[in-house]
Structure 1
Amino acid sequence: MTEKDISDSRLIQLLQGEEDTARGALTMLYLRYAPRVRELAQCILHDSDEALDVAHDVFMAVWQHRSVLEGVVSPSAYLFRMTRNAVLNRLKHRRIVDDYASQPFDTISPYDPAATFSTREMAAMIRAAIAGMPPLRRKIFLMSRSRGMTYQQIAEAVGVSHKTVQYHIGIALKELRKVLSALMLFI
């Protein structure tokens, strides 16, 4: 039997078994999902080293909490939530360290293993991606999308050229598309 022959639900069962079996199951789960976890973290954090740290932290947490995985129906959704929480924690930490105000994250609900991927979670990840943008890009993007300002109005308000506004909004949209495509890996 190969790695691909073992279902996700069976991997969860094996993770709760004897330590040698559980280690093999964790390895299979890691090989199957680590690239998705890293990609999602990278899309939001814009830091490959930090994304790799998030992936390792997520799978370390799976190992440490393997005895309580019994209620996990979808490892994909479970890992998405863990990744989301780890990324949000890192962004909160960045915000504190950098001492700048960003959108609060306390409105995000805690982990619920029975819940499925929702529009609210997607919105939270988009907010996190926007919060992770460089300050000028975030400001320009929010002026455009939240306030409905034209490129020219933004250029005058910020003191940059029309082309600079266009550039930053283009890059912001490209980053958000990456986040959304990474999120689709978990659906």
Structure 2
Amino acid sequence: MYADIQNQAHLLHEMAAGNQQALKTIVEAFWPNIYAHALAYLRSPEKAEELTQDVFLAIWEKRETLPGIENFRGYLFITARNKIVSRLREKLAGAHSGEEADVAETLYIPDSQLELKELNNLLRRGIAQLPPKRKRVFEMSRLEGKSHAEIAAALNISKDTVSEYITLSLNFLRTYLKNNGNHLHILIFCLYYI
């Protein structure tokens, strides 16, 4: 999903030192993928662009920590995902009428790191039970943020097979969470992974 850029570690060090040209290089390399991810969830080009800008602003504001990040792609993806979830929370909290208000009242997204850690541990146990190839496809898609085409090329399988493996994995994990967690876990899972 994310572009490969040479000297990424050097660029992160340069950003930490305040080099705006390094930021520009990072933005140019990763913008299209962050934007596409935001657009898929927010379904508004304007909101997706705004969110993408917010992601890079957040990265810049925390630039001193960048040299210590081993997996910048993962860090960037998680930053984007967290901002998307925050926007969805705001949308639900701002709902004032009809069905949206009912959803806002019943859908509780935990702010507690402990609850998110519990969900993560439960998901990891579920993912570990997937067949090896399906597990790898799911991890590449949902945890590494790779596209179906990238996964297909990397694993030498068709994009249809990638789609099938992801669908099967999601179905299995929904059932696993239902049997081992609670409705809250399933709702959070749907926001983060579907």
TM bucket (normalised to shorter chain) is 0.5 to 0.7
Counterpart in 2 of 1:47?
44
User: Over residues 6-60 of structure 1, what are the superposed CA-to-partner deviations in whole Å (9 max), with x where a residue is unaligned?
Assistant: 332222111112x3xx201100100011111111111111111111001100111
What percentage of residue pairs aligned between the two structures are identical?
A: 21
Structure 1 ranges of 4+ moved more than 6 A: none
Which of 20, 34, 37 lines up with 1:37 in the alignment?
A: 34
Relative to structure 1, the CA distance from residue 106 to residue 5 in structure 2 (aligned partners, 3 Å threshold; closer, same or farther) is: closer
Report if aligned partners of 1:9, 1:74 keep a CA contact under 8 Å in 2. Answer: no
The answer for the alignment partner of 1:27 in structure 2 is 24
Bigger relative contact order, structure 1 or 2, given CA contacts below 8 A and separation 6+?
Answer: 1
Name the one with the larger helix percent.
2
Mapped to 1, the partners of 2:81 and 2:112 lie a distance apart of 10
Alignment correspondent of 2:185: none
TM-score where L is the length of structure 1:
0.53
Q: Does residue 9 of structure 2 align to residue 16 of structure 1?
A: no
Residues 1:61 and 2:58 aligned together: yes
How many residues matched?
Answer: 119
Q: Which structure has the greater CA radius of gyration?
A: 1
Could you tell me how far apart the structure 2 residues matched to 1:5 and 1:54 are?
A: 22
- Specify every segment of 5 or more residues in structure 2 that has no aligned partner in the other structure, as ranges: 128-138, 144-173, 176-189
Tell me the CA shift for residue 109 of structure 1.
4.4
Are 2:84 and 1:87 equivalent residues in the alignment? yes
Give the AA of the match of 1:71.
G
Aligned to 2:68: 71
The one-letter amino acid paired with 2:110 is: D
Q: Give the deviation of 1:89 after TM superposition.
A: 0.7
Structure 1 residues 101-110 or 46-55, which shifts more? 101-110
The equivalent of 1:97 in structure 2 is 94
Taking structure 2 as the reference length, the TM-score comes to 0.51
